[in-house]
A = this chain, B = another copy of it.
Amino acid sequence: MRAKHGLGQPWWHGKFRGCGYRITLGREVILDILAKADTHLSAEDIYIKAHAQYPNIGLTTIYRTLDILANLGLIYKFDFGDGRARYELTKGPKGTHHHHLICTGCNRVIDYTDFIDEEVELLRQTEKGLAKKYNFKIINHLIQFYGLCNKCSVKR
């Protein structure tokens, strides 16, 4: 529903062109995959999906495109502790800001979107306070909870 706008151009074309980047088939495929994904994909995950619909694509293009996207602020890059990075559209299908619950037993990751108003407000204030005290311009934050999911906590 938010995939296109105006003359049928994907929403990100403007941002891309504005930065001097070209729109290529590979990049379209990658963004399409990210837009449809409901989880955090690794570079290889994306490569496999992309390769299915565009067999000529190489892993290199995946990494290079992800790098651009991250710099443009279109995607987030996460580290869940398993040695490979995961990527996620800043404004995903769900479109909502969220945090992660990571099971240290099985590496499962659960998205957590149930923010309470106070949480958002507190975060806003904290950022403001930190910005002032440390003269730091805060752009983003990362919150992750670690623990054991129901299956893994039973095992122990």
Contact = CB atoms under 8 A, between A and B. Distances in A.
A147 B139 contact: yes
Nearest to A149: B136
Contacts of A112: 130, 134
A61 interface: no
Interface stretch (A8-16, A19-27, A46-54, A115-123): A115-123
Contact of A146 (B116, B138, B144, B146): B138
Stoichiometry, copies per complex: 2
Nearest to A80: B79
A145 interface: yes
Contacts of A140: 145-147
Interface residues of A, number: 37
A116 B133 CA distance: 14
A149 B122 CA distance: 22
A103 B137 CA distance: 9
A14 to B, nearest CB: 22
Contact of A136 (B103, B133, B138, B144): B103
A144 B142 contact: yes
A46 B38 CA distance: 39
A79 B79 CA distance: 7
A146 B135 contact: no
